[in-house]
A = this chain, B = another copy of it.
């Protein structure tokens, strides 16, 4: 017997960052050995192949995101407050460094979603989990806000999520702080 020398979560976060920066196809195995510190053989032993490493990184990404948003939503006093925090965080990420500008899920979906069923399934699953997370915020009976019907909450959450994708893409086209804030403000207005 022998225990693995590397820390799985660290390896996955490094791989994840590389995938977000360069995209799946342009993240070569040499690059992955470099950023993870693992030799090819170890990667193939632990994750089967490059695609397996991507799938594991996607799961890690989603787990990290869930924690991040649960913290972000803690102690919100109203739907408006929760969405405001979310949007501020989003705009901050869009203006931040390369590796946080993009969402691993949508970036990967855009790049290779149509070409691989396993990856498409993994991404769809994780993206609808993300949609649920937002939908829950719309469904909470806030002390300071009126309650929404299930149907209305679903529709509004969907529009919100769709616009979040839009803001991320818009930020890729032109990274202007005032434009992004204006878009976020407007989205908040039409959502709440």
Contact = CB atoms under 8 A, between A and B. Distances in A.
A23 B154 CA distance: 32
B25 A26 contact: yes
A150 interface: no
Contacts of A85: none
Interface string A145-173: 00000000001001101111111111011
Secondary structure of the A contact surface, majority rule: helix
A147 B150 CA distance: 37
A173 B129 CA distance: 12
A55 to B, nearest CB: 17
A68 interface: no
Contact of A182 (B112, B115, B155, B182): B155
Nearest to A189: B190
B173 A158 contact: no
B179 A158 contact: yes
A128 interface: yes
A113 interface: yes
Interface string A100-113: 00100011011111
Given A114-B98, A172-B113, A183-B158, A23 B22 contact: no
Nearest to A102: B110
Contacts of A128: 173-174
Nearest to A130: B173
A186 interface: yes
Interface of A: 21-23, 25-26, 98, 102, 106-107, 109-115, 123-124, 127-128, 155, 158-159, 161-170, 172-174, 179, 182-183, 186-187, 190
10 contacts: A123-B173, A124-B173, A158-B170, A162-B167, A162-B169, A162-B183, A163-B163, A164-B166, A165-B170, A190-B190
